[in-house]
Amino acid sequence: MAPTILVTGARGQIGSDLIPALRVQHPTTKIIASGRRTETKKEIELLGYEVLDVTDNLHLQKIIEQYQVGTIYHLAGVLSAKGEQNQKLCWNVNVNGLKNVLEAAKSYRLKVFWPSSIAVFGANTPKVNTPQTTIKEPSTIYGITKVTGELLGQYYAHQFGVDVRSLRFPGIISYSTPPGGGTTDFAVEIFAEAIKKGSYTCFVHPETRLPMMYMPDAIKAILKLMQAEPAAITVRSSYNLAAVSFSVAELVAEIQKHIPNFTCHYRPDFRQAIADSWPSVIDDTQARKDWGWQPSYDLTAIVADMLQHLSIRSSELVVSS
């Protein structure tokens, strides 16, 4: 049997969609989902779930040995907005957690995937067509932890031959889980509110333009990157990754094509400054060249698919309540 796959932060936004995709791709491989939350006995059996706090190094090692783990998808992390509200937690989980995973990868010869972010960039970075290699002076603690993580990953790859791979994700739009404390959460919340209430109050202004991606593209990118031959991976810090860029006003207009009475109000808060410090369009030429990255969903396709899935879900809720 192939070595076990361990997923940390499995109940988060990416993990909730990645685990089913991994099960399809590796039908005979044991997949252990893990996270800090305790789950019901049924869920533990169903998911193959372990309670694991990635900052607990000894427990992480115990699980790796117990299940003979060969690959870790290390998704546990604190996002940008939540990170500003709890900097200590953000540093501890994002940096010390990743360091524990990389140390384990070195000792047990594990393959590692972990997500970085466009938050590694800051106000001094070129905002449009942000290159793979450029100024990285983030203004958030989250961005600082991601720059640190990228440098750590690159160091472990070069010094110890650890097969670590990473992507700089833009905002990810998905319907499986509620958003989890990021600055790009508005691009997820807006859909549920449009369906439920016909209106949304957005915490960034309408001209805010950020790089975004639909979850199926994010999952495709992770699977493709992890399948690539090691020699093809020329970037061991983290790859720029792009799909679409749009302003909030453009997103609202697209939703209004499906829900004509939908209205959006604007009440910018502290997340506006974070959004303003990030690029608006990313250049992902290196990812396309090295391992054939190509996104599938544009804004029109994302909005149509999101509304369809969330409408089905809300009609199911009405029927079952």
With respect to ligand AKB, which residue has the nearer C-beta, 104 or 188? Answer: 188
**C-beta of 293: minimal distance to ligand AKB in Å?**
18
Number of residues forming the site for ligand AKB (CB under 6 A)? 12
For 137, phi then psi, to 5°, come to -130, 75
200 is annotated as an active-site residue: no
User: Helix or strand or coil: residue 165?
Assistant: strand
Is residue 85 within 8 Å of residue 48, measured between CB atoms? Answer: no
With respect to ligand AKB, which residue has the nearer C-beta, 119 or 164? Answer: 119
Separation between Cα atoms, residue 71 and residue 64, nearest integer Å = 9
Give one DSSP letter per residue of 214-241, joined into a string: EHHHHHHHHHHHHHS-GGG---SS-EE-
**Block residue for tokens 């372990």:** 50
The verdict on 139 binding ligand AKB (CB under 6 A) reads: no
**C-beta of 10: minimal distance to ligand AKB in Å?**
18
Stretch of 115-123, 130-138, 157-165, 260-268 contacting ligand AKB, by CB under 6 A:
115-123
**C-beta of 215: minimal distance to ligand AKB in Å?**
12
Q: What is the dihedral of CA 220, 256, 258, 260, to 10 degrees?
A: 170
With respect to ligand AKB, which residue has the nearer C-beta, 90 or 307? Answer: 90
With respect to ligand AKB, which residue has the nearer C-beta, 48 or 138? Answer: 138
With respect to ligand AKB, which residue has the nearer C-beta, 122 or 171? Answer: 171
Residue from the set 4, 34, 117, 166 that interacts with ligand AKB by CB under 6 A: 117
Active-site pick, 49, 67, 73, 142: 142
Residue of 295, 291, 226 whose CA lies nearest to 29:
226
Residue from the set 19, 60, 104, 118 that interacts with ligand AKB by CB under 6 A: 118
Closest-by-Cβ residue to ligand AKB is 182
With respect to ligand AKB, which residue has the nearer C-beta, 80 or 139? Answer: 80
Residue from the set 79, 104, 194, 248 that interacts with ligand AKB by CB under 6 A: 79
**C-beta of 89: minimal distance to ligand AKB in Å?**
14
**166-185: contacts with ligand AKB (CB under 6 A):** 169-171, 182-184
Going by C-beta distance under 8 Å and a sequence separation of 6 or more, which residues neighbour residue 143?
80, 117, 119, 120, 121, 122, 277
Q: What is the dihedral of CA 180, 181, 183, 188, to 10 degrees?
A: 30
Residue of 217, 83, 72 whose CA lies nearest to 153:
72
Residue from the set 64, 98, 105, 119 that interacts with ligand AKB by CB under 6 A: 119
**C-beta of 312: minimal distance to ligand AKB in Å?**
25
With respect to ligand AKB, which residue has the nearer C-beta, 15 or 170? Answer: 170
Separation between Cα atoms, residue 7 and residue 88, nearest integer Å = 23
**C-beta of 259: minimal distance to ligand AKB in Å?**
24
**Block residue for tokens 């990754």:** 241
Residue of 73, 69, 88, 75 whose CA lies nearest to 36:
75
The verdict on 80 binding ligand AKB (CB under 6 A) reads: yes
Separation between Cα atoms, residue 175 and residue 269, nearest integer Å = 24
Q: What is the pattern of x (binds ligand AKB, CB under 6 A) and - over residues 34-73?
A: ----------------------------------------
What tokens appear for 219 in the block? 């999952």
Q: DSSP class of residue 78?
A: -
State the residues that interact with ligand AKB by CB under 6 A.
Answer: 79-80, 117-119, 142, 169-171, 182-184
Active-site residues, by number, are 142
